[in-house]
Amino acid sequence: MRLKALIPFVLFIILIAFLGKGLFLNPREVPSPLVGKPAPNFTAPILGDATKTFSNADMKGKVWMLNIWASWCAACRDEHSLLLEMRKYDLPLYGMAYKDVEQDAIDVLAKMGNPYIVTATDQDGRIGIDYGVYGVPETYLIDQSGIIRYKQIGPITPMDLREKILPLLKELNS
């Protein structure tokens, strides 16, 4: 009889657990259908030197990271120092200036430091659409065979780096 009286309380706790979980979910983090699929092909002019281009095909056979950012994006400033720090890992980082004014992007990199090996430009946002970008910064970890293994929506936090990106990188390189 006493156990039975506990049933509503247990149900209440379960309900609270679900609501609590919902409260801490980030509605902006929409799981990308692109994870596990080949990275969409693109060939884009390089920032500061439009005569040269960068293509995802150039990276075949390597594990690499594509960071889509913009000079007008405040959240991108937040992760900038972390990106600079990430140069110490064996992970080639390439940038994509999304819907940006070229000179503004160049200025930001000159002022804050350039974490990218190469920065491509996506002036009209078409590459962004193919990559399902809806809020910069967004970052993609792409494996040796060109498959997207991880997508970060919003700035990379030190926790994301430590708990998701680095373990995945280790697994891909082994």
CB of 173 to another protein, least distance (A): 28
Nearer CB in complex with another protein: 21/88: 21
* CA–CA separation, 26 and 29 (whole Å): 6
Nearer CB in complex with another protein: 25/159: 25
Residue ranges in contact with another protein by CB under 8 A: 27-28, 30-34, 99, 124-126, 128-135
CB of 136 to another protein, least distance (A): 10
Cα–Cα distances in angstroms (integers) from residue 170 to residues 93, 94, 153, in the given order: 16, 19, 21
Nearer CB in complex with another protein: 32/119: 32
**Residue 105 and residue 40 in contact, taking contact as beta carbons nearer than 8 Å:** no
CB of 123 to another protein, least distance (A): 11
* CA–CA separation, 57 and 145 (whole Å): 10
Which residues lie across from 96 on neighbouring strands? 68, 120
> CB count, 10 Å around CB of 156?
20
Nearer CB in complex with another protein: 118/136: 136
Q: How far is CA 22 from the centre of its chain?
A: 23
CB of 28 to another protein, least distance (A): 8
